[in-house]
Structure 1
């Protein structure tokens, strides 16, 4: 599918390579101007770069990030490279409707995520809390309306794909944006047997074509396998390293 032409928007200033110092929260909160009025507060920090020949390709990695860890960084850089993305936005959620235990304070998780993920093509955002969006389907609808020129891709791990059919309006999500699933070696078979994978089996995109996933009309999803970090937020909490 041919990409739509996108208006030229203000691009963010680079914040340095992953692990390098950056100018701090003030830089991340600068707002792009696409018209006479400033961006709404809910969109603070979310800058859509211009891209010649079509809308920018933006991966959305949502989660509690309770706490954020090296595994989140790994799959983000993997997605940028393998899916041909221009940006990845970390959407730090206020809470997870599928979990009984509430996460740590949002401000604390945001600060930890920003301290960990220092990359010029990654933005850490609390936009879901600002928008008042509780479910991913609502978040996607609001972001698509706010940034109509963007080509969004929802990112998730194979563990989330296994439970995806339990998400609120999960089929609507599938029909709204392409989805990139990142899995460890050995998880491919289990992920392929997930209810959502079986339901949308004919829309699966071969890994060899995944670089163009953002330009495909949904439903479209791909499953990429490769080495992943063994870290998990649950294990970190269980060890008492995130009190």
Structure 2
């Protein structure tokens, strides 16, 4: 009975899910996107090119349940993200809300269950790698999912010396081979340096360029 209910739920959820076929390599970029900006667009395009991805999906998060003040309403953030990120190989999604997950490890498990045969690559900025060891089940993520790390201004040193980088030094793919990331099998991660935008959602909100209401 439980299996049947899960199947019905997955079928219902699939009615408006992004399409992916077995064999594809899809990058996942998660965040609150509060708001999305040109920096997100830039690293997405760089990831497509440097990691040899077939597609990139933005996972717009419903919000962090541990924070007393949440982000702007989901609909507003999705609409703005879709306006900012217009590319034939990029899809802005609310997959995390649909799967009912809040932590990356659980989100990845749910998405992989919906797309058998598809390889997913988790994308993050170097600033996230620096504190990745604080994430829930971070070792499981590294063990089961290829990870693409994109350098951001001022974060290269801390990222390279991070707990995660040191713990998985044996699984690091050289930047010159970055296009193989989605095909090398986990654990496998790659750190790339690219010309970066210093745009920040925090700065945009501080300047009054984005209202959360």
Query: What secondary structure does 2:27 align onto?
Result: strand
Aligned length: 202
Question: How do residues 1-243 of structure 1 correspond to structure 2 at under 5 angstroms?
Answer: 39-41=11-13, 44-49=16-21, 55-96=23-64, 99-184=67-152, 187-243=155-211
On the 8 A contact 2:153/2:198 being kept in 1, the answer is: no
On the 8 A contact 1:176/1:218 being kept in 2, the answer is: yes
Q: What 5-or-longer segments of structure 2 have no aligned partner?
A: 1-9
The aligned counterpart of 2:3 is: none
Partners in 1 of 2:139 and 2:60 — Cα distance?
22
Partners in 1 of 2:207 and 2:153 — Cα distance?
26
**TM-score by structure 2 length?**
0.89
On the 8 A contact 1:188/1:223 being kept in 2, the answer is: no
Partners in 2 of 1:93 and 1:186 — Cα distance?
25
Partners in 2 of 1:97 and 1:42 — Cα distance?
25
On the 8 A contact 1:137/1:172 being kept in 2, the answer is: yes
Give, in angstroms, the shift of residue 230 of structure 1.
1.0
Q: CA 1:170/1:151 → structure 2, altered by over 3 Å: closer, same or farther? A: same
Give, in angstroms, the shift of residue 195 of structure 1.
1.1
Q: What 5-or-longer segments of structure 1 have no aligned partner?
A: 1-37
Q: CA 1:98/1:196 → structure 2, altered by over 3 Å: closer, same or farther? A: farther
Q: CA 1:204/1:100 → structure 2, altered by over 3 Å: closer, same or farther? A: farther
On the 8 A contact 2:31/2:59 being kept in 1, the answer is: yes
Structure (1 or 2) with the greater helix fraction: 2
On the 8 A contact 1:45/1:123 being kept in 2, the answer is: no
The aligned counterpart of 2:4 is: none
Partners in 2 of 1:149 and 1:40 — Cα distance?
20
Structure 1 ranges of 4+ moved more than 4 A: 97-100
Q: CA 1:43/1:214 → structure 2, altered by over 3 Å: closer, same or farther? A: farther
Partners in 1 of 2:137 and 2:192 — Cα distance?
24
Give, in angstroms, the shift of residue 110 of structure 1.
0.4
**TM-score by structure 1 length?**
0.79
Query: What secondary structure does 1:61 align onto?
Result: strand
Moved more, 205-214 or 183-192: 183-192
Partners in 2 of 1:39 and 1:69 — Cα distance?
33
Q: CA 1:220/1:42 → structure 2, altered by over 3 Å: closer, same or farther? A: same
